[in-house]
Amino acid sequence: MPKKILTTAGISGALAVMLGAFGAHALKKTLSPESLMAFETGVRYQFLHVFAMIAVALLYPSYPSRYLNWSFRFFAIGTVLFSGSLYLLTTMGWTILGPVTPLGGLSFILGWSTLVLAVIKQK
């Protein structure tokens, strides 16, 4: 499981760097300051949860459990829903995705909660 988690975290980290550079250089001239800020929020949350996934992978040998499996899944799903929806909202104007962003945030909360459960439930 740690190999899968670290692979996903590495891919997500590389994408966050590319998207951050894209936002800072290409989108700076085309997006409003508010839209650019929302795009940057997506990049920031994606990056933060790369480190959360790495933490899950590092904790896995000491706390192997279904809770850590779910924590990783929730972090990955949250990245797609939260950051992905912000990217599409700001660059494509797909306002229909507005309600998806909070679902991504909820997924992040569930990821952190199941991470805590993995530690608490360990005997």
Based on its alpha-carbon atoms, the radius of gyration of the chain, rounded to whole angstroms, reads 15
Q: How far apart are alpha carbons 65 and 20 in whole angstroms?
A: 34
Q: Check residue 31 and report its DSSP letter.
A: S
Q: Quick: pLDDT tens for 30-72.
A: 989 999 999 999 999 999 999 999 999 999 998 889 999 999 9
pTM for the complete prediction?
0.92
CB 60 within 8 A of CB 116: no
Q: How confident is the model at residue 90 (pLDDT cuts 50, 70, 90)?
A: very high
CB 114 within 8 A of CB 81: no
Q: How far apart are alpha carbons 104 and 84 in whole angstroms?
A: 9
Q: How confident is the model at residue 11 (pLDDT cuts 50, 70, 90)?
A: very high
Does 55 or 28 have the greater pLDDT score? 55
Does 94 or 17 have the greater pLDDT score? 17
> Which candidate, 66, 58, 50, 59, places its Cα nearest to that of 10?
50
Q: Quick: pLDDT tens for 66-76.
A: 999 999 999 99
- The position carrying tokens 């990821």 is 111
Q: How far apart are alpha carbons 79 and 50 in whole angstroms?
A: 9
State residue 83's pLDDT score: 97
